[in-house]
Amino acid sequence: MHERCPVCGLKFEREQGYFLGAMYLSYALALVTIVVLALILWMATRWSLQKITIWAILLFLPLTPALTLFSRVLWIYLDWAIDPEVPRPQG
Ligand SMILES: [Zn+2]
Q: How many CA atoms lie within 13 A of 21 on its CB side?
A: 14
pLDDT tens, position by position, 8-39 = 988 888 889 999 999 999 999 999 999 999 99
Q: Give Cα separations from 16 to 2, 20, 71 (angstroms).
A: 16, 9, 17
Distance from Cα 5 to the centre of ligand 1, integer Å: 5
Distance from Cα 49 to the centre of ligand 1, integer Å: 43
Helices (H), ranges, the chain: 20-45, 49-60, 64-82
Specify the pLDDT at position 1: 79
Distance (Å, whole) CA 83 – CA 14 = 11
Neighbours of ion ligand 1 (CB under 5 A): 5, 7-8, 10
Distance from Cα 39 to the centre of ligand 1, integer Å: 37
Q: How many CA atoms lie within 13 A of 44 on its CB side?
A: 10
> pTM of the prediction?
0.79
Q: Is residue 91 pLDDT above 60, yes or no?
A: no
Distance from Cα 9 to the centre of ligand 1, integer Å: 6
